[in-house]
Structure 1
Amino acid sequence: MNSKTKLLTFITVILAVSSLTVSTVVAKAKLTNQSKLFINGIGTVKVGMTVTQAAKAAGTKLVGDPPNNNCYYVKPQNEPKNLSFMVTQGRISRVDIRQNTQITTLKGAKIGDTEAQIKSLYPGQIEVTPHKYVQEGHYLTFIPKDRTDRNYRVVFETDGKLVTQLRAGKLPEVEYVEGCS
C-alpha cells in the first residue's frame, strides 16, 4: 500500500467515525418517553429557547395552533405523547406532562406517584396548596434551594392521593392553573 492509499484509507476511517459520532449525538438528543423532566426543561429542551431552537434540540418538529397572542402551546409532532410546551413571548416557558407514566423527574417522580412519595423525594422542599378544581386535590410545588434556580418550579397536581399531571418551568407561567387561558 503506497502512502497515498494509506492516507485515503485513514481519511475514510476518520470520516466514518465522525459520522457515527454525529449520528450517536443526534440520536441521544431526541426527545423521548425516557427523557428526564427537570426544573427548567426536559431532555435537551430548555426553558428560554425559541420554538425553533427547542425543535432542533428535541430532534422533532413542534406543532400547535398558530400563535394568536403572547401565550400558546406546541407539542412534539409524534412522540412523546401527552407532552406540551407553553410558549410566552416567543420562548419556551414551561413543560406540561399529562397521562404519561414513563417520563420522570431527575429524582424519579412521575404521574401515578403518591403525595407521600413526592414529599419523600424532595424533603422540606414541597409546598402543598389546595387544587383549584379538584375537591380533594393538591398542588405539590417543588421549591428549589439553589439561588440560581429560584425562578423555577416543578408542580405536581394530585387528586388528593396520586399525581395526575405535572409541569416544570419558570415563574410566573409554571404556576398558571389554566395554562394560557
Structure 2
Amino acid sequence: MNSKAKLLSLGIVTVALSSLTVGTVIAQTKLTNQSKFFINGVGQVRVGMTVSQAAKAAGTKLIGDSPNNNCYYVKPEWEPKNLGFMVTEGRISRVDVWRDGKITTLKGAKIGDTEARIKSLYPGQIKVTPHEYVEGGHYLTFIPKDQSDQNYRVIFETDGKRVTQFRSGKLPEVEFVEGCS
C-alpha cells in the first residue's frame, strides 16, 4: 500500500472512531436509571443549574409544579421514575430518589441497602440522627471531607434497617425534612 493510501485509510478510521466517540458521549448524557448519583447532582445534571439547563443536560423535558413558588419540584417526563429535582430561587438545589428508584451513588449505595452497608461504603463520614417521622428510622448523612464540597450532603433515610430513599444537594435545602412543604 502506498503512503497516500495509508493516509486515506487512517483518515477514514479516525473519522469512524470520532463518530463513534461522539455518538457514545451523546448517549451517555441522557438521564437514565443507570445514571450515577453524587453529592451535587445526578448524571449530567448539577445543583445550581436552571431548570432549562438541567433539562438540556438530562436530555429530557422536566415537568412539575408551578415555577411561581419559591420552592417546587420537577422530574423527568418519562424516565427515570422516582427521581425529582428541588428548585429554589430558580435553580436546582437538591436531587431526590424515592421508593424503588434504581439509581445508585458513585460507590453503589441504593434504596434497600442496609444501614451497615451505607456506613461501610462511607467509613467515618456518616452522621446518624433519628428520623423525624419513622419510629426507629434514621437519617444517615454523608459529610464530605473535601473542603470544596462542605456545602453539600447526601442523606439516606432508613426505616431503622434499610434505606427507603435518599437525596443530595446544597445546604440548607438538602436537610429540609419535608421537601418544599
On whether the aligned pair clears a TM of 0.5, the verdict is yes
AA of the residue aligned to 1:65: D
Alignment partner, residue 5 of structure 2: none
**Cα shift at 1:18:** 5.5
- 2: distance between equivalents of 1:158 and 1:123? 18
Alignment partner, residue 133 of structure 1: 133
| SS of the residue 1:66 aligns to | coil
Structure 1 stretches of 4+ moved >2 Å:
10-24
Alignment partner, residue 124 of structure 1: 124
Alignment partner, residue 67 of structure 1: 67
The answer as to whether partners of 1:101 and 1:112 remain within 8 angstroms in 2 is: no
Alignment partner, residue 92 of structure 2: 92
Q: Does 1:108 align with 2:111?
A: no
| SS of the residue 2:78 aligns to | coil
The answer as to whether partners of 2:81 and 2:101 remain within 8 angstroms in 1 is: no
- 2: distance between equivalents of 1:59 and 1:140? 31
| TM-score calculated relative to the size of structure 1 | 0.89
Q: Which runs of 5+ in 1 are unaligned?
A: 1-9
- 2: distance between equivalents of 1:128 and 1:35? 27
Q: Which runs of 5+ in 2 are unaligned?
A: 1-9
- 1: distance between equivalents of 2:55 and 2:142? 27
- 2: distance between equivalents of 1:48 and 1:129? 27
**Cα shift at 1:69:** 1.5
**Cα shift at 1:101:** 4.5
Aligned length: 175
| TM-score calculated relative to the size of structure 2 | 0.89
Gap change, CA 1:124 and 1:13, over 3 Å in 2: closer
Q: Does 1:44 align with 2:35?
A: no
Alignment partner, residue 148 of structure 1: 148
Q: Encode CA deviations 1:79-112: one digit per residue, 9 max, x unaligned.
A: 0000000000010000000123521111111000
AA of the residue aligned to 1:103: I
AA of the residue aligned to 1:93: S
The answer as to whether partners of 2:83 and 2:101 remain within 8 angstroms in 1 is: no
AA of the residue aligned to 2:56: K
**Cα shift at 1:68:** 2.5
Alignment partner, residue 5 of structure 1: none
The answer as to whether partners of 1:26 and 1:59 remain within 8 angstroms in 2 is: no
- 1: distance between equivalents of 2:112 and 2:135? 18
- 1: distance between equivalents of 2:72 and 2:113? 28
The answer as to whether partners of 2:82 and 2:101 remain within 8 angstroms in 1 is: no
- 1: distance between equivalents of 2:17 and 2:166? 40
Alignment partner, residue 55 of structure 2: 55
